[in-house]
Amino acid sequence: MSAKLLDGKGISKEIQKETKVKVEQFIADHGQPPVLAAVLVGDDPASQVYVRNKERACARAGIESQLHRLPATSTTEDILAKVIELNETPKVNGILVQLPLPEQADSRVILDAIDPQKDVDAFHPHNVGLISQGRPQFLPCTPHGIVQMLKRCGLETTGKSVCVIGRSDIVGKPMAMMLGQKNSNLGPEMANATVTLCHSRTQNLASIAQQADILIAAIGRPNFVTPDMIKPGAVVVDVGINRTDQGLVGDVDFDSGKEVAGFITPVPGGVGPLTVTMLLENTLMAAMIQSKPIV
């Protein structure tokens, strides 16, 4: 058996086209484009690539992007000053601080300082709280993209058993929260799952994973998920991006995994493009929220 590929790249293009149309309408209504400000601290090569990809995607969608570079030696206070400046700049609708930050900077303090209305990564406790209560303002880009992809491929989550491996604040935890809710921004069929959140201390992980109709791996370990961990016919979503001597690989052993799974995302070309795409959607959403009349 060979799994069907979930074409994140193609779906991203489709969503970006839709976003572009909505951005054009926003510009027609408000006379200016949504604006995303990225803060890049230091010169980590992977972060430079991610930020460049985000800038290019913004340009394609008609969203204005700003890049604020700070030196690798920046302190928490230096980065905070930049975030506060951007919070107070009305023209800026969305702020993203590219992670990871240099060791001396306190990421938690910095992310907490972003205005929740401009928090397009949805990392602020205010936004995380809203997600946990099932009434999100913004959804974190990677889980948001995964739900979009599943929906557009006709893969509903309601009533399904889902195993999420990895409990990061960026991917695993919000993914588990979102799929376990009663409803989603795409309707109840893209929520209402029975979710198991696995992590580094989980016992019998392989057998838990093997029972899942939908398996989402966000671990950061190359080829961690092997065929014995996949239920035959399951939907396998590979979030991992691991740089190895063999090039970029995911958290799922793709070649053997695709023989068991029913659907599988490739790496690259799966979840990655969707993450950038949902950042555009969130920036547009931020601009719309901020342009609403105050009542």
Residues of this chain that bind ligand NAD (CB under 6 A): 142, 165-168, 170-172, 198-200, 202, 205, 218-221, 239-242, 271-272, 275
The catalytic position among 7, 16, 82, 98 is 98
98 is catalytic: yes
Q: Residue 252, by phi and psi: left (phi above 0), alpha (psi -120 to 50) or beta?
A: beta
Quote the least distance from Cβ 218 to ligand NAD, whole Å.
4
106 is catalytic: no
For ligand NAD, the nearest residue by Cβ is 168
Burial of 21 from C-beta contacts in 10 A (0-12 / 13-18 / 19+): exposed
132 vs 242 by CB, closer to ligand NAD: 242
26 vs 123 by CB, closer to ligand NAD: 123
Quote the least distance from Cβ 56 to ligand NAD, whole Å.
15
Q: Using an 8 Å Cβ cutoff, are 12 and 274 in contact? A: yes
The catalytic position among 119, 121, 238, 251 is 121
Quote the least distance from Cβ 107 to ligand NAD, whole Å.
11
Give the residue among 252, 169, 250 at the shortest CA–CA distance from 214.
252
Quote the least distance from Cβ 238 to ligand NAD, whole Å.
8
104 is catalytic: no
118 vs 173 by CB, closer to ligand NAD: 173
The catalytic position among 54, 151, 160, 231 is 54
Active-site residues, by number, are 54, 98, 121
